[in-house]
Amino acid sequence: MPFFGLGAEPLAPEKLFSIGPLPITNSMVLGILSAIFVLGLFGLAARASQLWPKSRLAFYIENIVDLVFGLMAESFGDRKKAARHFPLLITLFVFILVGNLSGLLPGIQTISLSTHAGHTALFRAWTTDLNSTLAMAVLSLATVHFYAIREIGLFGYVRHFFSGNLKNPINIFIGLNELFGEVLRLVTLSLRLFGVIYGGEALLFAISALAGNFGWAATLPIMFLEIFFSLVQAYLFMMLTATYLVMSTSPGGESQSHDVKPAMVGGA
Three-state SS for the chain is CHHHCCCCCCCCCCEEEEECCEEEEHHHHHHHHHHHHHHHHHHHHHHHHHHCCCCHHHHHHHHHHHHHHHHHHHHHCCHHHHHHHHHHHHHHHHHHHHHHHHCCCCCCCCCEEEECCEEEECCCCHHHCHHHHHHHHHHHHHHHHHHHHHHHHHHHHHHHHCCCCCCCHHHHHHHHHHHHHHHHHHHHHHHHHHHHHHHHHHHHHHHHHHHHHHHHHHCHHHHHHHHHHHHHHHHHHHHHHHHHHHHHHCHHHCCCCCCCCCCCCCCC
The per-residue pLDDT for 118 is 66
Domain residue ranges of the chain, discontinuous segments joined by +: 2-253
Mean per-residue pLDDT pooled into runs of 10, the chain (268 residues): 51 83 89 93 83 76 88 88 90 93 81 70 88 93 90 78 70 81 89 91 85 79 91 94 86 47 42
The per-residue pLDDT for 255 is 43
The per-residue pLDDT for 251 is 62
The per-residue pLDDT for 242 is 92
The per-residue pLDDT for 164 is 61
pTM value is: 0.82
The per-residue pLDDT for 261 is 45
The per-residue pLDDT for 110 is 73
